[in-house]
Structure formats: C-alpha cells, structure tokens
Structure 1
C-alpha cells in the first residue's frame, strides 16, 4: 500500500484525533509515526524511491490501535510521515549540515538524535540512508515546525489535560513499531513488545508492570526499556507526580506485516484484537475498577 501525497489544497489534515462519543477511560493513545501521506514536494526533493523512504514509518500502528476508541479512549494519529517531520523530538533538534542557511540560535544541534541523523527534520531513514538530494532551506524546516509540530503537541496536551481533569489522572500510551530483527546482529530477533517508561521516570510502576503482565498473559514476549526507553513524547508528558503518566509501546512489525512489501499479514487481525484486550485489561485493573486515585497527583 502506498498512500497518496497530501493534496496541495490541504484537504487532508496533517493529523487527527479519533475520539469516542464519550470518553470513559483515563487513557490517551497516540500514534505519531504511522503517517503514510507523503507530500509531493517532499518526494521530489528526496533521493529515495517510494519504498525506501518508508523504512522509518510505523506502518499500520494507528490502525492496530484504532479499536481502542469504542472502548472509550481517544486515539491521536499523524497522517504526515516521520521522515518529513518527527514530533517525537524536541521542537528544534536540527542538523546544521542539512540546511542552506543558518539555524536559529535556540536550535539544539548537538543532541545524540541529531548526530544519528534523526532529529526533528530527519536526515536519514533507517540504516543511515540519506533522504535529501540537496540541502533544505532553513525556512522549510521552521515552517514544518510552526505549521504542524506545534499544533500537534498543542492538541495532544489538550487531550491529556482534559483527561486528567475528568478522571483525576491521565495515562498516555505512545504507540510505535520496530523492525523484527537487529540489523547489527544478524539472526537476533527482538521481543514482541518493548515497553518504555524512561526507567521508571515517566509513569507509575504499577502501570508498566500491569502492561507487561497483560501482554505476557496474551502470549507475547516483553522487554522493558531496552532498546527503547521512550522518546521525547514519553519524557515530556510523563510527569507521574502531577498525575500524568506516559508509557511507550513498541510492537514488533514481524507480528503483523511483511516488512519487505509493507503489506499486513493474516496475523494483523489477531494482533489488533489483542491490542483491544490489552487496553481493556489495563482499564479494568485492579479488581474490575479503574486505576486507583492514588496514582493521581496529590
């Protein structure tokens, strides 16, 4: 499947919130990297073909989690691709070597993510494959940040604040996918799920422990914080002392899709059903009720 580019008239919004008629759960699900609508000018500026440029995409993750909405939880999802703009970074993590012109003085040009080519405006897709044929104008990067990045985070923050106000606390589940194998170690297969809570800093331990238990009982292998402890979104929004909890969930792509041709496999439906079971089990803990108010800010 190859999505059409975002129309020049912006008929398709860059992101959306799929909300239940009535939010019954203190959860907000977020899929920031599953966008598959590639702007035509971006494709024209890239040196990659349509298959290669998708290597950093969390393909179908938004669709896997879409069934949480009928349970009573909103799902926020990006339509723009991660290769075009990464909202799981600081707003100005930018590589000066990518641009024709001088970056603003407040840009973070020295982060490890920038060094790896995966800043707010990525230089590479996975496997360190360069995206752009020529340097970008600084104004282009700033336009993406002002026009899409900041509205995305404003919408996400609004969802979380409304959820906390309604339930006394909020749990952000940041939804991602990962390659099935470790390319630097051929033959080594990753766990089915990796849960990231910034080593206990972004959510109450009861939430991460329960998530791991539920997934294990569903028959999956689960790792914690390695190799993914959570990105900017988990770190920025996860403030347990304030009643805001954030947990990153990475799904092994080999569970539900063909990683070579980007097509869902026959197991997609089963994994999607297990995601619903996972969300339902979390929302019902402990003892058939919602999470205790002890997890909220005092």
Structure 2
C-alpha cells in the first residue's frame, strides 16, 4: 500500500495491485483546519459537521485491492460535496460579479463553505466571510479534490467502466439543519444514486446484495439522494457509476463525545465484507 496526496489537503491510499475497477472516497472525514479558519464557535460545535472516522471505517480498502481518497481538511472549512457556487451571497463581504447559486442546504448554513454549526444552526462566523478566503478555499481544496478524484477514477477504469463509492456518515436522528423532519430516526445505511441518474441500476442492486446478511437496516435515496460528488462524477452513459453510502454514526461512535465505541471494530469488519463482495462483483462486471 502506498500513500500520496496534496500536502495536508488530502491523501490517496493505493493498493499494491488494483483488484477491480472500484474507487472509494471519503470527502468529509478530514479534521485539519488551516490557519485562516477563524470560527466563533468552539471545536465541540463545529467538529460535529465532520464524518468522523469514516476513512478508518473503510480503511481496509487498500488491503482489498482498492484505492481510497480522503480529504484531510474539515468539511465545514470547504465542503467538496457542494457545488463551488453553492453559497448565499449575503454571507460574503463582497459578492459583486459572482454568479452564486445557493441551494436549500446553503440557506441552512451548509453550502460549499459552512456558515452555521449543527445541531441548531448557531452562527459559525463572527462576521461576513471574506471573498478572498472563499476563493482561496476553492483553489486550495475544492478544485484539487475533484480533479484528483476524476484522475483516480480514470486511471482505475477497466474495459471503459469504473465504479465508485462516495462515503459518508449521518446523525442517528435528524436535527434542525437537516432537510428531513427534525427528530426523524435514520436507518443503519442509506445508499443513494440521485434517483437512478449517477449509476446503472445493476450497481445499486449489487451494493444492496452485498449488504445481505450483514445485519444492517437499509434505505435507498431516503433521506439522502446524493449531492455534488455524484452529480459531478457519476455518468453512467460514459461508464462511470457512482453511489453514495451513508453510515449511521450510532453504529461506531458516541455522537456527543465523538469517541469510537466498542462497536467500531465489528462495524468496520462488516463494512469490509460489504466492500469485498462489491469488489468481486465489479471485477466480474
């Protein structure tokens, strides 16, 4: 296994030999906050946005013959699963000339640069976000991450096809910064394909089958449908098949204290079994 990346911004763990045309990426597990990050909230607030330990949960991927790309920067600093223009112009000190397109998530304070902290949307920043900082974060984090993922998908292709798992975690219960109803309980695993647009149906079916017998409760496209990474990279017509995987944090961590629980090793092992089964399907597909 070898590792490479762009300094502190992201890393790629590569297998000694690629076993199948399948790439994994973890865009939200980063815990590095650059010096220009100046939050008005303490770490126990803003770190709640991280998909903590997801890179470790799927850390067996290189030993299974699969590359794993992981962001090292905190999601709240720059969210690569949002479009680069997904920002409310009112949060910038100068939005003149910018063609921004804020989504409903940006209006909740979690656009490409977050401006609010979970669970209740308390302001992350003491004042307006500097336009210079916004543009610098795109240049330092957003564009390089997407360019690296695109290259990794391209170089891992076989016979014109590549499969991709975009890895995330979710709170067990929806809060005020989520789009599903506050208090809604989530299943163990949510698989998403942007309502059938980011992957051929066969890949979703194979992923569902790979979870069979592992003891997880499953849902598809509810409450998550997949976001910018699937929209930007998933292209079944071009042979790129992308699925988003959300893992319930209650399966492996204390969602309030942030530490791993005794279930972590078991959950990691079951997810490794899932990845192994799906790898074997991709190798045959």
Q: Is 91-100 or 241-250 further displaced after alignment?
A: 91-100
**Alignment RMSD, CA only?**
1.7
Query: Matches of 2:10 and 2:40 in 1, distance apart?
Result: 26
Give 1:151's aligned residue: 144
Taking structure 2 as the reference length, the TM-score comes to 0.91
Q: Which residue of 2 aligns with 1:76?
A: 69
Quick check: 1:27 aligned with 2:22? yes
- Report the Cα offset of residue 79 of structure 1: 0.6
Query: Does residue 106 in structure 1 map to residue 102 in structure 2?
Result: no
Whether 1:182 and 2:174 are equivalent positions in the alignment is: yes
Unaligned regions of 5+ residues in structure 2, if any? Answer: 1-5
* Matched residue, 2:264: 268
- The reply to whether residue 14 of structure 1 matches residue 13 of structure 2 is no
* Shift of residue 167, structure 1, vs aligned partner: 4.3
What TM-score do the two structures reach when normalised by structure 1?
0.87
Secondary structure of the 1:135 match is coil
Residues 215, 221 of structure 1: 8 Å contact kept: no
Contact 1:216–1:222, Cα closer than 8 Å, also in 2: no
Q: 1:182 to 1:103 in 2, by over 3 A?
A: same
Q: Give the Cα separation in 2 of the matches to 1:193 and 1:281.
A: 16
Structure 2: distance between partners of 1:175 and 1:30: 6
Work out which of the residue numbers 228, 235, 241 in structure 2 matches 1:232: 228
Change (3 A) 1:118 1:188: closer
CA–CA distance in 2 between the matches of 1:281 and 1:77? 22
For the 8 Å contact 1:175–1:248, the answer to whether it is kept is yes
Query: May I ask how many residue pairs the two structures share in their alignment?
Result: 275
**CA deviation after TM superposition for structure 1 residue 17, in Å:** 0.7
Alignment partners' CA distance in 2, 1:131 and 1:117: 9
1:218-229 alignment, distance < 5 Å: 218-229=214-225
TM-superposed CA distance for 1:186, in Å, is: 7.0
Superposed displacement of residue 113, structure 1? 2.5
Residues 174-253 of structure 1 mapped to structure 2, 5 A cutoff? 174-183=166-175, 188-253=184-249
